[in-house]
Amino acid sequence: MNMLGEIIARDAVRIERLMPGPIDRLWSYLVDPDKRRAWIGGGDIEPRVGGRVEIEIRNADLSDEGDRPPPKYARHVGPTWIFGEVTHFEPPRVLGYRWHHDGELASEVRIELEPKGDKVLFRLTHTRLPSRDALLSVSAGWHTHLDILAAHLAGEAPESFWRTMTRLDAIYDQRIPPW
């Protein structure tokens, strides 16, 4: 399984990972705000279709001290917010929501979990991205956040967010065709 996300359409990326299980444990990292804060952000996801989504992302809290964003992402040094509404809620297998990031991105996220023995196939699809820059940022960002989630699930210390994000941003920039 390729660790890099696959650009499945001009405006969409899919990332698949085989994660430590069981599925209920992984599901809890999606819906429990304290567990979610460890890999992407805390805040509320109301557990129903049509429910409110308010996720506070603090990438600096996921990094080592002194790990700063590159100039391209300098405005993300503090907290940023994801607002939206739940579009799919099928515990413990599917979570989907509309994603409005700092008022500028209106896209869709769908996470599917599938048991595979003692592991879980984690499939994340992010669609309706409005620009190549958004596709690039989202691809590298989700990849970095999923690396952090995998480390937590394995009981390991995650790599620093901004160093990883900067490295992956350059890789995805080479893989995503011009618009």
Q: What is the 3-state secondary structure (H, E, C) of the chain?
A: CCCCCEEEECCEEEEEEEEECCHHHHHHHHHCHHHHHCCCEEEEECCCCCCEEEEEECHHHHCCCCCCCCHHHHHHCCCEEEEEEEEEEECCCEEEEEEEECCCEEEEEEEEEEEECCEEEEEEEEECCCCHHHHHHHHHHHHHHHHHHHHHHCCCCCCCHHHHHHHHHHHHHHHCCCC
Name the pLDDT band for 1 (thresholds 50, 70, 90).
very low
Question: Quick one: pLDDT at residue 104?
Answer: 63
What is the mean predicted confidence (pLDDT) over 62-69? Answer: 79
CATH number 3.30.530.20 is the correct assignment for the domain at 6-175? yes
Q: What is the pTM of this model?
A: 0.94
Domain ranges of the chain: 6-175
116-165 residue pLDDT tens = 999 999 999 999 999 999 999 999 999 999 999 999 999 999 998 999 99
Average pLDDT over residues 81-108: 89
Q: What is the pLDDT of residues 45-61, one digit of tens each?
A: 999 999 999 999 999 88
pLDDT on residue 105: 64
pLDDT on residue 130: 92
pLDDT at 19: 96
Kindly tell me if the per-residue pLDDT of 109 is higher than 70. Answer: yes
